[in-house]
Structure 1
Amino acid sequence: MNLIKSFNNNVALVEDSSGTEWVILGNGVGFGKEKGAAIDEATIKKKFIAESTSNSRQPFLEMIEQIPISIFEATAEMIRTAESVMGTELNQHIFLALADHLNYAVKRTRDNVDYPHTNRWELQKLYPKEHKAAIEAIRVVYDLLDVILPKSEETFLTYHFVNAQGPSARLSETMKMTEAISRIIEMIEYHYDMQLNEESLNYLRLLTHLRYFLLRQLHGEKLEQNEMDDDLIDLIKGKYSHAYECVEKISRILKKHYEWELTLNEKVYLTLHIWRLIT
């Protein structure tokens, strides 16, 4: 590996023999070295892929320069802890995005600035391992930086850990899905004029169903209309009419806000989940 730029004695940007750029951490890795100097890999404690484009290179370098070494070290420990909690290896590209986020999160916390922590409950149930990893990451920040991040960071960090698991878990997709689930839950509660029991098994079953239902919508997949007998559909629509009315309202809202179309079979499955939850 050869040095591209030292940000301080312990953080540097390097390039390997294949042309891939890395941010490396280690005691003295950038000390007294000129551009192009060879880096002793034995001195590297942590390394993470540095993803950037030519158009964003200068802001990218400036961003790294503005992040303290303590933030980089805390970020590396957050990732290590998250991987242990989740039992999986996270994508290398998470490092700089997470470090940048943590840097501003610490600044906001010290300035007593917080954001509403919406969707936290839905995320906790939809992504329990990632949410647990987020809680542990907040503990890491407290241990290493003496900063207690606000509750809203549970949501943001959960999104980061979901997003870092590969192409099947995209951040924008996750955010859209949790927003839609929150909207659906609010509609069910309004339709029945009640607060749902978030600890119940049927609530968790509903969230699981909604998660896969919304993934199908996001990926343009639909249940075939011939999967369920017509007589059974008519029976369910009649017997559970109040739940079916709720589903029809949900269907209109999803069409209005997301341009998603529910098939008749999807409406029936959702009707059964809602009826079971309410009952």
Structure 2
Amino acid sequence: MRFRIKKVINNNILCVTDADGSEMIVTGRGLGFGHKVGEQVDSASVQKTYRMTNPTVQQKLLDLLEQIPYEHFLLTDELVGEIRKRISYPLNESLLITLADHINFAIKRQKQGLLYKNPLLEPIRECYPEEFKMGRYCIKRIKEKLSVSLPEDEAGFIALHIVNAELNTSMSVMNDITRFVDGCIKVIESYYGKKFDHTSLAFSRLAVHLRFFAQRLFQNGQDSGKEEYDKKFRSLIARNCKEHYQCAETVAAYAENVWHKKVSDEEILFMAIHLKRVNLSEQHSD
């Protein structure tokens, strides 16, 4: 197969069209050297192909590739591949773009001696342990491949980009979600008068529940279907899991009083179930 060159981005990257006229970005060492728009290039010389499902995202990728070093993009592509292997949630295709842009900017700052503190580092470490682990992996690979040592604050920033790709939201909303989840955990631990084992599977499940609960609260709103069924079920949970149901109501009060977010009865119900699970797990591990 042969591609027709639509734009030469640099010596290693081309924007091309295939036989159907579909646009894509192709990369390879020296792939664009000496080539001009309108010429053809053999697909056998292409190392990687990028075709985003969203045309806007495709254009953003094209714009980014004109601005960052090829080595930074190649490494980010490797990192995103590893992240996708290790993270169980679907990730937005924009992760490659946002992470490449961030890594390139972080490397520039480091070389200029400009270090940014991450004010959310501890909440990120607590609320998103798997993503934070991947953030640390990324800065380790950056050091190995590019000989640039980034601080652990950057592992936190990278973790947020990963969570952002999971939740399909903006980074500004992501910051609010992180603060909100951290606040919820503090409310829950204060209610029970103890600090949970943040390395336990049950706590990890609770943190994930709070993360997606926060996303629904900050972005999509909440469903309120099956009211009659929920009333009966809610009454049953409220009786049998009284302590945990009251804790869930306390979290809902925090959301409303501090964040001005109204929590539905359904959310309170399912949070109570998660709170019971994390408490049972803590008891069994004692």
- Return the TM-score normalized by structure 1: 0.74
Deviations 1:29-69 (A, max 9, x none): 11111112112211111222366659x96x97664322112
1:170 aligns with 2:168: yes
* Range with bigger deviation, 14-23 or 180-189: 14-23
1:210 aligns with 2:206: no
Q: Matches of 2:136 and 2:95 in 1, distance apart?
A: 17
Specify the alignment match of 1:70 in structure 2. 71
Q: SS at 2:128's partner residue?
A: helix
Gaps spanning 5+ residues in structure 2: where?
none
Specify the alignment match of 1:262 in structure 2. 264
> 2:31 is aligned with what amino acid?
V
Q: Matches of 1:227 and 1:176 in 2, distance apart?
A: 34
- Aligned-pair Cα RMSD in Å: 3.8
> 1:255 is aligned with what amino acid?
E
* Range with bigger deviation, 13-22 or 177-186: 13-22
Q: Matches of 1:4 and 1:19 in 2, distance apart?
A: 10
- Structure 1 pair 209–10 and aligned structure 2 pair: CA distance change class (3 A): closer
Matches within 5 A, 1:112-123: 112-116=114-118, 117=121, 118-123=123-128
Specify the alignment match of 2:238 in structure 1. 233
State the 1:228 CA deviation.
2.2
Gaps spanning 5+ residues in structure 1: where?
none
Specify the alignment match of 1:40 in structure 2. 42
Q: Matches of 1:151 and 1:143 in 2, distance apart?
A: 15
* Range with bigger deviation, 109-118 or 63-72: 109-118
> 1:32 is aligned with what amino acid?
G
Q: SS at 1:179's partner residue?
A: helix
Contact 1:131–1:158 (CA under 8 A) maintained in structure 2: yes
Q: SS at 2:66's partner residue?
A: helix
Matches within 5 A, 1:126-141: 128=130, 130-141=131-142
- Structure 1 pair 162–48 and aligned structure 2 pair: CA distance change class (3 A): farther
Q: Matches of 1:87 and 1:273 in 2, distance apart?
A: 20
Total equivalences in the alignment: 265
Matches within 5 A, 1:1-279: 1-49=3-51, 53=56, 63-86=64-87, 93-110=94-111, 111-116=113-118, 117=121, 118-124=123-129, 128=130, 130-162=131-163, 164=165, 169-172=167-170, 177-191=177-191, 195-200=195-200, 202-211=202-211, 213-214=213-214, 217=217, 218=220, 220-222=222-224, 224=227, 225-228=230-233, 230=235, 233-234=238-239, 236-237=241-242, 240=243, 246-256=247-257, 257=259, 259-263=261-265, 266-267=267-268, 270-271=271-272, 274=275, 277=279
Contact 1:13–1:24 (CA under 8 A) maintained in structure 2: yes
Contact 1:6–1:12 (CA under 8 A) maintained in structure 2: yes
Deviations 1:145-194 (A, max 9, x none): 111222233333334445556xxx41347655443221201223445665
Identity %: 27
- Return the TM-score normalized by structure 2: 0.72
- Structure 1 pair 271–79 and aligned structure 2 pair: CA distance change class (3 A): closer
Q: Matches of 1:26 and 1:145 in 2, distance apart?
A: 19
- Structure 1 pair 188–80 and aligned structure 2 pair: CA distance change class (3 A): closer
Q: SS at 1:171's partner residue?
A: coil
* Range with bigger deviation, 206-215 or 82-91: 82-91
- Structure 1 pair 204–90 and aligned structure 2 pair: CA distance change class (3 A): closer
State the 1:255 CA deviation.
2.5
